[in-house]
Amino acid sequence: MQDSPPTNDDSAQDFTPVVPAGKSIPEVTWKAIILGSIISVVFGVSMAYLGLRFGMTVSASIPAAVISMAVLRLFFGRNVTVLENNIVQTIGSAGESLAAGIIFTIPAFFIWSANSDLAAQGYLHEVSKSQMFWMSILGGALGILLMIPLRRYLVQREHGKLKFPEGTACAEIIVAGDEGGGKAKMVFAGIGLGVLFKVGYDMLRAWSASVNHDFQGLLKGGTVGIDATPSLLGVGYIIGPRIAALMLSGAVLGYLGVGPLLAFIGDQIPGLVIAPGTMPLSEMDPAELRNSYIKYLGVGAVAVGGFISLIKSIPVIMSSFKQGFVELFGSKSASDQAVERTDKDLPMKWVLLGVALVIIAIWLLPGTELRLLGAAMAVLFGFFFVVVAARIVGIVGSSSSPVSGMTIATLLVTCTVLIYFGVEGVSGMVTAMSVGAIVCIAVCMSGDIAQDLKTGYLLGATPWKQQLTEFIGLVFPALAMGFTVYYLNEAFGFVPGATGREPLLAPQANVMATIVQGMMNSNLPWQPIIVGGFIALAVELLGISSLPFAIGLYLPLSLSTPIMAGGAIAMMVKKYSTKAEFGEKNLRGVLFSSGLVAGDALIGVAVAFMIGLWPTFADFYDGHDGMMNSLSGSWGPWVALVLFGLMTATLAHMAFKGMGRKR
């Protein structure tokens, strides 16, 4: 076995995997399946909470690989192969991708259920847990199956051209397995600190994590604040200083620019009411200004930002679609039939049969109003965007794939087609969002399996075994996701005022719900949405990516400030490290930050279950809600700031110094 996997600088012709094709070692074993399934559920549930609260998820591939090496070595010693670890991360990373597809779309149904205007129109539709499970399975299966015929072209023939950054990084980490125990300690240390911090402020209510100040005087209508949470700090480190700064800039414009401007106009014209607001501007606080105006600016900006990211990918889209079509339907020569172990995919007849069964199941899926037209659009858009997403993640990675833009494009075209055929109102809303959900899940899962197959290609895995185990990684989190989303909705809701508690904002789902509802009922507040779109366009004309800026404009400022803190630590690590040191230090920071995110999110889900199942705890939780109502009273904000500062310092220490002297 060689010391490290060949990188993407090697040509496909000269490539030799870590485990040669002629060598057979344990790969799909019960211990790998069980551990991978557990990791898939854990990261799927935690990323669902993170995405619903903050609008973003982080890749689970690297933490899954590191945890796999540590746990398998702990219980089985050296009797573990790199291919077993690869199967663990293949299964384990699927949960995070499924969570992203679900939280971007499914909460729209709950958002509509909480809308009194829609209730008056007779909207009674709620997605059941079983429907959510089947939409997850069908969308995920569609993404996995359509990616399989593309593997040989994207992963093998384009080796050296497509980077697949997460997949390549996972392969490098798995090969460096001798260091797996030390690196895993970073993940578990982050989880421990995240859990401890979250239990303190969210479960025990010892202090309030949210610290805010609403301005008066010259900046009336403006607000500053920080949600001092481990997950946001960790996310900021992982996404880096540039994306964090772009998010913060959008929030600054919205809450320290637009908000004070609207308040100023309201003071100059007393009693002025501007739609879609329903009360005078002069009487609105920053939260009300956000819900009435700034939110819609964010909707327009996110929509345009997603479209622009999609437009930038058009050359890739066209070439990918062309090559994908050839790979799916092109003839196979006799030489293609005699393939080595490392080049064996699932047989095409089973792939096509699986796609046919998925199409029929989507058509027959009850309660989604899909029917034949909706099923046809779901499969058509699913096929097109799966081909696109599989290529894009090879170039820029899963984190930068324009999933939101693809889903919004799907929704807009679907709504237009449905309206043309006379399907409008509530029925049209349910059909359009069901199509969008299946397509979004398919796109997310295709990106995940593309990265996993790249890892397997570098290591010398057997493709058909990875492709089968990807379905295992889909099924188990799909079973857990319905319960998780339901309890989060019942505990917190996805719109202000739904439960009386601070809601989980579900930004992408709120944007998509607003667009679909407005198109199907012809009541979209176009003016602020169009203005938000032009703001995003202006940012793009400056040569800056508008999508992170738009997300920052949509989300409250208090969510962007801790993300910027994590980004600042990442910037310091890069600035004060030599080139030789940076890779190791940055990896330590990413692993510790991944632990912070997972620990925080898992306790967040646990709190939601406790609220739903334990009335006494729910009363205690509600009785100590708000910045000054924690057990620390008026000291609560100061306690939060001091502890967040200590946690930030701990992250910096872990990145720079690690957990102790190396062996």
> How high is the mean pLDDT in each 10-residue block of the chain (663 residues)?
47 72 88 92 86 76 79 80 90 89 90 75 71 92 88 78 73 65 77 92 89 87 90 86 90 93 90 84 87 84 76 62 57 54 84 88 77 81 77 64 75 86 82 90 90 90 93 92 88 81 84 85 80 92 86 85 93 90 87 85 84 86 84 90 95 85 46
Euclidean distance between CA atoms 2 and 400, whole angstroms: 31
Question: Residue 331: what residue type?
Answer: S
Half-sphere exposure of 20 (CA within 13 A, CB side): 5
Among candidate residues 104, 195, 298, 312, the one with its CA nearest the CA of residue 604: 195
Query: Tokens standing for 462?
Result: 């057997």
Among candidate residues 190, 277, 269, the one with its CA nearest the CA of residue 235: 190
Euclidean distance between CA atoms 260 and 268, whole angstroms: 12
Residue at 371 is within a domain:
yes
Tokens 């009300």 correspond to what residue?
288
Cα 584 to the center of its chain, rounded Å: 25
Has this prediction a pTM greater than 0.75? yes
Residue at 301 is within a domain:
yes
pLDDT at 442: 92
Residue at 206 is within a domain:
no
Residue at 393 is within a domain:
yes
Query: Tokens standing for 303?
Result: 């929509």
Number of domains in the chain: 1
pLDDT at 307: 74
Residue at 617 is within a domain:
yes
pLDDT at 330: 58
pLDDT at 334: 43
pLDDT at 1: 38
CA angle 374, 375, 377 (to 5 degrees): 65
Residue at 456 is within a domain:
yes
Residue at 663 is within a domain:
no
- Pair 439, 376: CB distance under 8 Å: no
Residue at 240 is within a domain:
no
Euclidean distance between CA atoms 17 and 457, whole angstroms: 7
pLDDT at 164: 78
| Domain around 523 | 1-182+283-332+339-543+597-622
Euclidean distance between CA atoms 208 and 227, whole angstroms: 9
